[in-house]
Amino acid sequence: MKTGRNDPCPCGSNKKYKRCCMDSIAKQSAALSDEIAQILAMNPSLSLDELNAVMHDRVEQRNTEPDAAFYGLSPTQMQNWLYAPLNELTDVMIKTPTDLSRSPVMRYLELILNEAMQHAGSFKATAKGNLPAKLVKQASNLLPEFAVSQYSIHISINDFAGSNEDKFDALHYTRVLAEIAGIIYIKSGRVHVKKAAQKQYKAQGINAFFMPMLDTALTKYNWGYFDGWDDNANLSIFWLFMVWRLHSHRDLDKLTAEVATAFPAFVQQLTATEYCSQTKLLDSLIEARFIDRFLKFWGFVTVNPRLFFKDERLPRIAELQPLLSQTFQFMV
């Protein structure tokens, strides 16, 4: 369906199309028109069919040429990475790792499924509808098995442990994803595992749910769920570009600069204040929503939380975990 002038821009900026990418497209069209005019001036005998063939070739060439703003990706590749479903992405292969024992999200889901399977497919939730204290404790006890355990963080501010689900962000995130993915549901004060999911778990184990959970995290889950920022900023649309860039250099500061370069319209929609520039806000969104509450929760990276040493700011470098390269294999 063609995007209308007053429709939201498909780039995710939440601006009207006419005030965002339409302007860029108009400039590209003008440049192409100038190029065609030059071709006609030099080849006045071209037939209409020949001219259409030349225009088609020029457009195809522009769309498939590497773009410096996209760090070598072509507009066609970027279009695919922004909008294609997981099973139609090009230049990247996404696989289910054989061993998911180092992924907090998948280990927590396994605890939930095991608890339900031991009680005929469901177990009692708390009065608030959360996971019971017994299961929360089991999940907290898994912390030493994850890469994030190398950093000593007090339980009161640790995303990977807590006295209840409300104080245990990674566990709560997993439960929410599992509900959205249609693996579990809460009814009559109990957490139920759907019949189809029970059959899948018995036949294939926890690996059966890696791709459905990942797809949910990337395309259906609200990345602003845990924070208070204005959720007009849909950072999730750039997830694959960010994984690719971080995979290539591991530098969080560089990642922010690259997102700003590739998607300036997105940055322009962020509301700056006297205390926080648009770039700084972008940096905070990437760290909180992409690094902390996606890559870390899944066990893809760790980042040293100690950023300052004797008043000197340390480089923010991500430590890539084996699960990242086992899941995402880039061909660019």
pLDDT per position as a tens digit, 92-118: 999 999 999 999 999 999 999 999 999
Above 70 in pLDDT, residue 252? yes
Bridge partners, 93 (sequence order):
329
Distance CA 216, CA 224 (A): 14
Please give the pLDDT value at position 228.
74
- Residue 173 sits at the vertex; the CA angle it makes with 245 and 324, to the nearest 5 degrees, is 30
Distance CA 220, CA 316 (A): 29
Please give the pLDDT value at position 311.
63
Q: What percent of the chain has pLDDT over 90?
A: 64
Please give the pLDDT value at position 1.
45
Q: How far is CA 210 from the centre of its chain?
A: 15
Taking a C-beta distance cutoff of 8 angstroms, is the pair 241, 89 a contact? no
* Main-chain dihedrals φ then ψ at residue 152, nearest 5 degrees: -80, 105
Range 136-160 average pLDDT: 89
Q: What is the mean pLDDT of the chain?
A: 87
Taking a C-beta distance cutoff of 8 angstroms, is the pair 77, 91 a contact? yes
Block residue for tokens 């975990």: 321
Residue 64 half-sphere exposure toward CB, CA atoms < 13 A: 6
Taking a C-beta distance cutoff of 8 angstroms, is the pair 97, 210 a contact? yes
Block residue for tokens 């290539």: 248
Range 243-255 average pLDDT: 96
Q: Report the predicted TM-score, pTM, of the whole model to 2 decimal places.
A: 0.82
Please report how the helices 104-117 and 133-140 are oriented relative to each other, as an axis angle in degrees rounded to 10.
140
Above 50 in pLDDT, residue 22? no
